[in-house]
Amino acid sequence: MSLKQRLIEQITLEGPMNVADYMARCLLDPIDGYYTRHVRIGADGDFLTAPMVSQMFGEMIGVWVAQMWQALGAPAEFRLVEIGGGDGTLMSDIVRVAKRVPGLFDAARVMMVEPSPRLRALQGQTLAGVVFVPDVNAVPTELPVIVIANEVLDCLPARQFVRTEDGWAERCVGVVDDDLAFGLTPTEYKPAIDAAPGQIVEVSAAQQHFAAQLGALLKAATGAALLIDYGRDQAEAGDTLQALYNHHNTDPLTAPGEHDLTVWADFPAATDVGKTFVKLSKIKTQSEFLHRLGILSRREALQAAHPSHAEKLRRQYDRLTAPDQMGTLFKVIGMAWPAALPLFALED
């Protein structure tokens, strides 16, 4: 029985399911969840991430890791942790940079936080000797940590609340004519931000919990974390739920578990939670962050070394930094403890 049919049966018996619970089932159902069974990344998959666009992205993250390691006093051992590492490309690029910094690669104990068995298999093929743990709470705290979380927040479910003429209602997934359908159910919950009638406000307890977990990890171990994702830098209304299949948007209710589901990262909410634990940077655009780390110089160096690839490198650079591509939509925040630890390209 397909996940869709199982969801229809469950909702018929138990009543409508909120959007966060629906997302969680679609992504992580132990039998047919997208990340359990169907996830496809890359040009021939459902979506591309920045590390797959160009090696320059991972190299700039590697530069930031080197800066943070030096700021921590160049410890002889530290944990280099990536959360949600996709196919392992980003960590591979970071490691390549680390090998060029005296002492850094030898000090790094690479660890991947990855719940998806399919992605763990891909990462294991790319990265030698990597240690896997299922969640942030499983990361040991006896060594300092430097944590990278690229496109993790958008995978964490959010509830959706709709402003009506009579107050607030929650958007839920129900069953109409033996098929899944969106509808509204009454609620006493009132989001922290207001909206005009008909607008949707998203609230992600999962994203806020993730920020709290990272903050607690840094407080216990010392170190820094980097969060990169597409999303909002101010609290505002908006429906950002989308399904992706073969690089195209699809109906989120069409094929539960077979298509990727995402919502925008809520950086303001994550920042509000994270700052109760550790130091938080201001929210920067991906373009500003990468330029501060030297991506333009790196592009020029690659073009000089490979003149025949100049146009390809320009397209990759534009994809990562142009305002109408990933440069502005994608945001970056840094977290650090102790508070005196600098965050470099994320600081004014």
- The C-alpha atoms of residue 244 and residue 155 are separated, in whole angstroms, by 12
Q: Are 202 and 266 in contact (CB under 8 A)?
A: yes
What is the C-alpha separation between 287 and 323, in angstroms, rounded? 8
Confidence at residue 45, expressed as pLDDT on a 0 to 100 scale: 86
The answer, yes or no, to whether residue 42 has pLDDT greater than 90, is no
**Residue the block writes with tokens 């073009």:** 303
Rounded Cα distance between 169 and 166, Å, is 9
For 266-323, write each residue's pLDDT tens digit: 999 999 999 999 999 999 999 999 999 999 999 999 999 999 999 999 999 999 999 9
Q: Which amino acid is at 225?
A: A
Distance CA 327, CA 322 (A): 5
On the question of pLDDT at 241 being above 90, the answer is yes
Mean pLDDT of 329-342: 98
Candidates 258, 316, 313, 274; CA nearest to 50 is 316
Q: Which residues pair with 229 in a beta bridge?
A: 331
What would the two tokens of residue 2 be?
Answer: 């397909």
Which domains can be identified in the chain, with CATH numbers? Answer: 27-155+205-238+257-346 (3.40.50.12710)
Task: Determine the average pLDDT of the residues in 88-112.
Answer: 98
What pLDDT, in 10s, does the model give residues 130-186? 999 999 999 999 999 999 999 999 999 999 999 999 999 999 999 999 999 999 999
Percent over 90 (pLDDT), the chain = 95
- Which bin fits 33, alpha (ψ -120 to 50), beta or left (φ > 0)? beta
Average pLDDT of the chain? 96
**pLDDT one-digit tens code per residue, 43-72:** 888 999 999 999 999 999 999 999 999 999
Q: How confident is the model at residue 219 (pLDDT cuts 50, 70, 90)?
A: very high
Per-residue pLDDT band for 264 (boundaries 50, 70, 90) equals: very high
The pLDDT score that the predictor gives to residue 44 is 86
- For residue 134, whether the previous peptide bond is cis, meaning omega lies within 30 degrees of 0, is no
